[in-house]
Structure 1
Amino acid sequence: MKRARLIFLLLLTALLLIGCQEKEELKAVSKNETKGWIEPGKTISISEEVELPKTTAKEYIEAEKGELYTKFIESKEFSEDKEAIEKANADAVDAYFAQISKKKTKNWDEKKWAESITFALRASYKDVAEEMENYEVVYEKLRLPDGRLLEDISMDEITKEEDKSVNVVLVIDSSGSMKAKIGGESKMALAKKSIESLAKELPESVNVSLIAFGHQGSGSDADKAKSCSAVESMYPLKAYEGAAFGAALNKFEAVGWTPLASAITMANEQLGAVSGENTENFIYVVSDGIETCDGDPVAAAKKAVADNNNVKINIIGFDVDSEADKQLKAVAEAGGGEYSSVKTKQQLAEIKDVWKEAVNINTWRWWAVHRFADNVWTTLDHNNAVGKINSKYFTIYKNEDKRIRAAVDRLRDEGLIDSKGQNGITQIIRDRDDKIQTYMSDINSTKRDEIKTKSDELSEKLDVIKKQVGL
């Protein structure tokens, strides 16, 4: 829980930083950096003749790119070379003045000048707005083993009570070869730890048993009969009890031969005694070698399936040779289950987690429990992605703002307009800017609200699942 709180705090901090960064960028863009330019929201004096356009925000957003923007700016818009983009802006403004020098502008009013400047120098916000609007908030990492997304699963399905019972028989090879060490620990010790961890993490409703085979006698020919008959239930099929299960694991060590077929037969007999229409059964075997007691484990696995106990036999081949690998794989296939070959302690732990998922009545429930962090980090990823789109908008707006400011200032400096005219042009252009800013801010907020809503819904589902599986 401490780790979950830490992740949450990290996410909250990151989101606050994203929001502050965007506000600072907009503030910097809006700052009065050029003489005579009026800041957003400021009241300015304009002539009575100036009438603000009826153009809507959507119309401004979808307007085509200016001719001079396309020629000078577009290819360099997102360049990291600041000098290049500054030069492009300046070249575009110079080109604009070259154009108007050939036109009769003496009687142009503020509206005509504003239209002329924006028509030539404006960027288009259509693409970036559509990118924001069409950004898909999908939590791919929370895709269930059956291919569905957790976000598409209804709460009714999550809270639905299941009436199936689940039984798990854990079968551990206790032949002498399990004494061999991997990473400083014996294969037997590692197998016991993995089995105990699996049993401990199963839902309380699951019944579990433990069978050891080959745990008596020795590996000598003289002890073969004794060892091959050593197939014993160390923990009866019932709910997991930590102390009793741990004590059962301590009752045997790796000493003898490998009566795998007999062990599968005993496991099947245990399950047969409790099987029914609403029962789901699993046999899990950890072994490091082939059958050495003249049994036929493939035939034993086939019989378990034929007995119609709704059983699946899954096997881990623990550091096995090619012959054992081939046989154990055949046993798993005959038992309708999965075979996994592992060589390390880490691989054994990973397979254990896969087994645990498969045991649960609703596989996705256990899967989802381990996706709390995925929800947090995917939420952060989505917010970052939306932030990048928003930054793209800021870049476009900032560059456009600079060149349009420069053009308006130059009109006054060259005597083409007076201060009154500059105020009127500024107000018209600022009206356009405000509408664009409001539109982009609204779709940004809408998308972030969508991310938060979906993340909150997923958190609620994960919390319910967490309670149901007892974690």
Structure 2
Amino acid sequence: MKMSKGVLALFFSIVLIAGCQSSGDSAADTSKQKGKGEDFVIEKPASAIGEAKLPTTSPEEYIQQDKGDLYQKYIEGKEFSEDKAAYEQATKEAIDAYINEVSKKKTKKWDEIKWAESITSALRASYKDVAEEIENYEVVYEELRLPDGRLLQDISMDEVTQESNKKVNVVLVIDSSGSMKAQVGGEAKMALAKKSIEDLAKELPENVKVSLIAFGHEGTGSDEDKQKSCSAVETMYPLKPYEAGEFAASLKNFNAMGWTPLASSIALANEQLAKEKDENTENFIYVVSDGIETCDGDPVAAAKKAVEDNTNVKINIIGFDVDSEADKQLKLVAEAGGGEYSSVKTKQQLAEIKDVWKEAVSINTWRWWAIHRFADNVWTTLDHQNAVNALKSKYFTLFKNEDERIRAARERLEEEGLIDPMLQNTITQVLNDRNDKIQTFMGDLSTKKKDEITAVSDELSDKLDAIEKQVGL
């Protein structure tokens, strides 16, 4: 068979290179001739001409790989430490340990894929956890949770745009009998009750009318003052939209003084709400009291009459630091009024029940609540984007450190004579292929999550715009 000098020179060059890399393998083992005469092809290991064989490992498989054994032994726990020197020392020790281990192995026949697997199985990080964190990150707009507990993002646009002309009235009734002077946690019950009532009033939606009734705020607890005190049931703030200054001033017009005309206070609340009676109105009576009726009235009967006289009325009662007798009676009053009874002993519990009351004002007020939440949408979107960026930054730190660590290991392998420059080049190609797959996967994952955030935010903006138009602002 006749060959040109150029072809022969190329042939022997390839054989020599292949021989160096296979450490003694014969040329016949690393090459194969095909064809006749001067027409032939030599099949060579890819590494022989500097072009790597690339593994078929998928991006998902790379992401799911566990941490390298030497990474776990030396580096894990130090990578995100503020002590950079400790991390650098741990990295050096891990690479030294790898070089020491691999130098004892028979590596002369290893190709680039085998070397890449050896290096990464020792020194790689794991992206499994951070990938799951990004994928499972919940795009929830808690700041846009409605008073009834639902998230605005879960409300359909059909419900947002459906017509609602419900009106809501809230009558706040506060026990001002002498026992409210007693202290709970170092503060007078009267002061705590006023604070809770004021906080509730100011947090109600703008379209809600509110009224304030005090009872037992005149006279004393003596028998001589019983009639005077039992007659002291007074509207301190008339039923109308909340005005902060006027409402705050009304709370200063009474203090804890005398007896407990609970039934009469419910009757006065009923009288106010009867004037607002129609099928499109919801009425609430909220009572804070620390004791039983002491003015010979029947609060259970008064609650039943309120239900009979008004449309959609609910009487909710807080028993504030009450004894068992009062607890029993107040619970019966709430049941008769179609509402709920809550017994509280502390300032914290009182605040928590106030929040429950606020949410119970009903689904029909949520549009007014929502119209002031445009900024919440903007800031929460930014918070979500920053959270995903933080996870992406965590991934990038892992990736950057791993890349530097593995590059340093490759260079050490060449310095120690365990691989030659051409083999290092093909190993690098295999590792770069791995890096590209990991970067693409993680980039797509974070982009998908950010797109989800944008989609939810845009949908919320559309809903808020629709609500604003619906309420006529």
TM-score after normalising by structure 1: 0.69
Task: Write the distance in 2 (CA, Å) between the matches of 1:335 and 1:237.
Answer: 20
Q: For residue 75 of structure 1, report the CA deviation from its aligned partner.
A: 5.9
Q: How many residues of Structure 1 are paired with residues of Structure 2 in the alignment?
A: 415
Matching residue within 115, 118, 121 for 1:120: 118
- Tell me the residue number matched to 1:410: 413
Task: Write the distance in 2 (CA, Å) between the matches of 1:134 and 1:72.
Answer: 28
Is the CA contact 2:170–2:208 (under 8 Å) kept in the aligned structure 1?
Answer: yes
Unaligned runs of 5+ in 2: 1-45, 79-85
Task: Write the distance in 1 (CA, Å) between the matches of 2:138 and 2:53.
Answer: 36
Q: 1:60 to 1:335 in 2, by over 3 A?
A: closer
Q: For residue 164 of structure 1, report the CA deviation from its aligned partner.
A: 0.9
Q: Does 1:387 align with 2:381?
A: no
- Tell me the residue number matched to 1:398: 401
Is the CA contact 1:208–1:238 (under 8 Å) kept in the aligned structure 2?
Answer: yes
Q: For residue 252 of structure 1, report the CA deviation from its aligned partner.
A: 4.5
Task: Write the distance in 1 (CA, Å) between the matches of 2:205 and 2:62.
Answer: 59
- Tell me the residue number matched to 1:237: 239
Q: For residue 314 of structure 1, report the CA deviation from its aligned partner.
A: 1.5
Task: Write the distance in 2 (CA, Å) between the matches of 1:410 and 1:86.
Answer: 14
Matching residue within 76, 79, 97 for 1:78: 76
Matching residue within 308, 311, 320 for 1:309: 311
Is the CA contact 1:62–1:126 (under 8 Å) kept in the aligned structure 2?
Answer: no
Is the CA contact 1:313–1:337 (under 8 Å) kept in the aligned structure 2?
Answer: yes
Is the CA contact 1:60–1:436 (under 8 Å) kept in the aligned structure 2?
Answer: yes
Matching residue within 289, 292, 310 for 1:290: 292
SS at match of 1:99: coil
- Tell me the residue number matched to 1:165: 167
- Tell me the residue number matched to 1:150: 152
- Tell me the residue number matched to 1:358: 360
Task: Write the distance in 2 (CA, Å) between the matches of 1:379 and 1:219.
Answer: 57
Matching residue within 217, 221, 239 for 2:223: 221
SS at match of 1:284: strand
Offset from partner CA, 1:137-163 (integer Å, 9 cap, x none)? 232745556664433234554465421
Q: 1:151 to 1:90 in 2, by over 3 A?
A: farther
Offset from partner CA, 1:317-353 (integer Å, 9 cap, x none)? 3343343233223322332323334455565455444
Structure possessing the higher radius of gyration over alpha carbons: 2
Task: Write the distance in 1 (CA, Å) between the matches of 2:227 and 2:319.
Answer: 24
Q: For residue 287 of structure 1, report the CA deviation from its aligned partner.
A: 2.0
Higher mean displacement: 46-55 or 185-194 = 46-55
Task: Write the distance in 1 (CA, Å) between the matches of 2:390 and 2:114.
Answer: 32
Between 1 and 2, higher relative CO (CA 8 Å, sep ≥ 6) is seen in 1
Q: 1:302 to 1:115 in 2, by over 3 A?
A: same
| Aligned residue runs from structure 1 range 244-255, under 5 A | 245=247, 249=251, 252-255=254-257
Task: Write the distance in 1 (CA, Å) between the matches of 2:263 and 2:120.
Answer: 79
Higher mean displacement: 420-429 or 373-382 = 373-382
- Tell me the residue number matched to 1:23: none
Q: Does 1:91 align with 2:89?
A: no
Task: Write the distance in 1 (CA, Å) between the matches of 2:215 and 2:65.
Answer: 81
Task: Write the distance in 1 (CA, Å) between the matches of 2:94 and 2:208.
Answer: 70
Q: 1:367 to 1:184 in 2, by over 3 A?
A: farther
Is the CA contact 2:178–2:256 (under 8 Å) kept in the aligned structure 1?
Answer: yes
SS at match of 2:304: helix
Q: Does 1:203 align with 2:205?
A: yes
- Tell me the residue number matched to 2:136: 135
Matching residue within 276, 279, 283 for 2:278: 276
Task: Write the distance in 1 (CA, Å) between the matches of 2:298 and 2:327.
Answer: 15
Q: For residue 445 of structure 1, report the CA deviation from its aligned partner.
A: 4.0
| Aligned residue runs from structure 1 range 325-364, under 5 A | 325-343=327-345, 348-362=350-364
Task: Write the distance in 1 (CA, Å) between the matches of 2:257 and 2:116.
Answer: 87
Q: 1:464 to 1:328 in 2, by over 3 A?
A: farther
Task: Write the distance in 2 (CA, Å) between the matches of 1:241 and 1:393.
Answer: 53
Task: Write the distance in 2 (CA, Å) between the matches of 1:226 and 1:146.
Answer: 41
Q: For residue 275 of structure 1, report the CA deviation from its aligned partner.
A: 2.0
Q: For residue 282 of structure 1, report the CA deviation from its aligned partner.
A: 0.4
- Tell me the residue number matched to 2:50: 50
SS at match of 1:261: helix
SS at match of 2:212: strand
TM-score after normalising by structure 2: 0.68
Task: Write the distance in 2 (CA, Å) between the matches of 1:395 and 1:283.
Answer: 58
Is the CA contact 1:78–1:395 (under 8 Å) kept in the aligned structure 2?
Answer: no
Higher mean displacement: 120-129 or 368-377 = 368-377
Task: Write the distance in 1 (CA, Å) between the matches of 2:222 and 2:274.
Answer: 34
Task: Write the distance in 1 (CA, Å) between the matches of 2:454 and 2:347.
Answer: 39
SS at match of 1:395: helix
Task: Write the distance in 1 (CA, Å) between the matches of 2:167 and 2:252.
Answer: 28
- Tell me the residue number matched to 1:59: 58
Q: 1:451 to 1:290 in 2, by over 3 A?
A: same
SS at match of 2:139: coil
